[in-house]
């Protein structure tokens, strides 16, 4: 998910951003980029704020089950998956700024839908709108970032853009817990409305000089993307389980503050990506996939059987640190396997498997959670090892 910007970057490069991709010396690309990062950070902090609140809302206020908690989180992921290819096309056709503003506006309305007394149907409607807004805002911002960044710094700049989202996911649950305890569901909904409104205002002040009308690949799933995508799906399944059921698993063991697990995962993800983001280039993609899969699986297993919050938080840190380098390694494998004219589309397709993994985690995890939260987390640990098998097979095919 966070890495969608990278795949979009490749696609945009392949599509011919020629005249607009390189800013002239007078173009204030740094200031514009800072604005994009601020908008993304505000938006995904709001998205993260509801993570510890939604399970309470579903199981407490609405009388729902653990399965319905999973469905609630899955709705936004599946929606984003379906909308993302079209969001990129809209951004190239109508301009990144307009599509980002539309996405921020849609997300702002979500809080109002949450607040309406419409039961689970209303909540799922809000999650649908959230997935729609996320796809529009993030994909348009990704294309905008790619167009702004100088050629020799493109990967670095786009990587920082993606990390803004993960920082929001790390800070959001903590802020959501604080606001909920200090106020109520209503206080959370107000904050969730204000933050994307700030993002909307920031984007309004930016100037979009990125060229429009570039061709977009119509091939949604190139063959080279299938195995790396399956590998990413296995890894993202663990993240989806942690978001949907981590706090509930801790509550079932009479452990408070379980929402900190998502923040710990996000903090490790950001830290390792910043400090060790070049490791796949230096030691080889396959080696990183193998290590990432084992490390993430170990972290999830630790959470599954954790007797205390501190042990579970350590497991979340380990799992986040392992998962963060999985996508860059799989991206390198995909590039080696794909024909040059399909590389952008292949990377975009691989990234879409992240949302599939999160959606499957919500649905399948919800079924398992009816029997045992430990079983859900243990299944996520086993699934993470699937990244190893699929990634290894993909690397072997890339070499041939």
Q: Where are the domains of the chain?
A: 1-216, 221-400
Residue 293, SS3 per DSSP:
helix
**pLDDT of 231 strictly over 80:** yes
| Domain 221-400 in CATH 1.20.1250.20 | yes
The predicted pLDDT at position 154 comes to: 55
What is the C-alpha separation between 398 and 379, in angstroms, rounded? 29
pLDDT at residue 6 in the model: 41
Q: b/e map of 141-174 (b: 16 or more CB within 10 Å)? A: bbbbbbbbbeeeebbebbbbbbbbbbbbbbbbbb
Mean pLDDT of the chain: 81
Spatial neighbors of 226 by CB under 8 A, at least 6 apart, are none
CA atoms within 13 A on the CB side of 172: 30
Which DSSP helix (H) or strand (E) runs through 211? Answer: none
What is the reported pLDDT for 210? 65
In angstroms, rounded to a whole number, what is the distance separating the alpha carbons of residues 4 and 122? 29
CATH topology for the 1-216 domain? Growth Hormone; Chain: A; (1.20.1250)
Count of beta carbons in the 10 Å neighbourhood of residue 132: 21
- C-alpha 16/C-alpha 10 separation (Å) is 10
**What local confidence, expressed as pLDDT, does residue 194 receive?**
94
| Spatial contact of 99 and 73, defined as CB atoms under 8 Å apart | no
Q: Pick the residue with more confidence: 159 or 361? A: 361
State residue 212's pLDDT score: 61
- Residue 356 and residue 240 in contact, taking contact as beta carbons nearer than 8 Å: no
Could you give the dihedral angle defined by the CA atoms of residues 315, 316, 318 and 320, in that order, rounded to the nearest 10 degrees?
A: 160
pLDDT of residue 381: 93
Q: What pTM does this model have?
A: 0.66
Express as a percent the part of the chain with pLDDT over 70: 83
Among the listed ranges 144-158, 193-207, 241-255, 351-365, which one has the minimum average pLDDT value? 144-158
Contact in structure between 46 and 126 (CB atoms under 8 Å): no
Ramachandran angles phi, psi of 95, nearest 5°: 110, 140
Q: Which of 201-205, 255-259, 276-280 has the highest mean pLDDT?
A: 201-205
Tokens 């969608």, located at residue: 4
Report how far residue 288's alpha carbon sits from residue 339's, in angstroms, rounded to the nearest whole number: 23
- 221-400: same fold as 1-216? yes
pLDDT digits (tens, 9 = 90+) for 50-101: 888 888 888 887 888 878 888 888 888 788 877 776 776 777 778 889 999 9
Q: What is the DSSP string of 61-127?
A: IS---HHHHHHHHHHHHHHHHHHHHHHHHHHHHH-HHHHHHHHHHHHHHHHHHHHSS-HHHHHHHHH
Instruction: Report the pLDDT value the prediction gives residue 153, as an integer from 0 to 100.
Output: 57
Q: What CA–CA distance (Å, rounded) separates 50 from 45?
A: 9
Token code pair at residue 237:
């399944």
User: Nearest Cα to 165, choosing from 200, 198, 141?
Assistant: 141
Q: State pLDDT tens for residues 8-57.
A: 444 444 433 333 444 444 446 888 889 999 999 999 999 989 888 888 88
């Amino acid at each position: 998910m966070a890495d969608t910007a990278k795949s979009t970057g490749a696609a945009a490069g392949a599509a011919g951003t020629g005249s607009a991709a390189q800013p002239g010396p007078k173009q204030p690309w740094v200031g514009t980029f800072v604005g994009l990062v601020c908008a993304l950070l505000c938006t995904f902090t709001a998205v993260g704020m509801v993570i510890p609140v939604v399970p309470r809302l579903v199981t407490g206020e609405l009388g729902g089950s653990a399965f319905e908690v999973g469905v609630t989180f899955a709705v936004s992921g599946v929606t984003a998956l379906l909308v993302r290819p079209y969001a990129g096309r809209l951004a190239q056709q109508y301009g990144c700024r307009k599509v980002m503003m539309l996405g921020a506006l849609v997300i702002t309305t979500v809080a109002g839908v949450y607040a309406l007394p419409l039961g689970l149907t209303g909540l799922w409607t809000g999650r649908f709108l959230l997935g729609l807004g996320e796809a529009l805002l993030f994909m348009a911002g990704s294309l905008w970032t790619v167009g702004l960044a100088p050629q020799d710094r493109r990967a670095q700049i786009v990587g920082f853009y993606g990390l803004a989202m993960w920082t929001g996911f790390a800070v959001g649950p903590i802020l959501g817990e604080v606001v909920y305890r200090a106020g109520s569901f209503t206080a959370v909904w107000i904050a969730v409305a204000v933050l994307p409104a700030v993002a909307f205002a920031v984007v309004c002040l930016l100037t979009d000089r990125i060229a429009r009308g570039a061709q977009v690949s119509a091939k949604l799933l190139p063959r080279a993307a299938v195995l790396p995508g399956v590998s990413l799906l296995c890894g993202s399944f663990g993240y989806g389980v942690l978001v949907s059921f981590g706090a509930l698993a801790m509550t079932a063991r009479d452990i408070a503050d379980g929402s900190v697990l998502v923040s710990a995962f996000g903090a490790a993800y950001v830290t390792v990506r910043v400090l060790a983001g070049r490791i796949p280039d230096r030691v080889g993609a396959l080696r990183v996939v193998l290590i990432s899969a084992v490390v993430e699986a170990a972290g999830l297993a630790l959470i599954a059987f954790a007797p205390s919050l501190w042990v579970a938080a350590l497991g979340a840190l380990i799992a986040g640190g392992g998962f963060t380098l999985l996508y860059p390694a799989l991206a390198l494998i995909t590039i080696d396997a794909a024909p040059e004219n399909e590389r952008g589309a292949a990377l975009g397709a691989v990234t879409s498997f992240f949302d599939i993994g999160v959606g499957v985690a919500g649905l399948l995890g919800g079924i398992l959670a009816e029997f045992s939260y430990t079983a859900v987390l243990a299944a996520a640990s086993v699934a993470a090892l699937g990244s190893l098998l699929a990634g290894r097979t993909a690397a072997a095919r890339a070499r041939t």
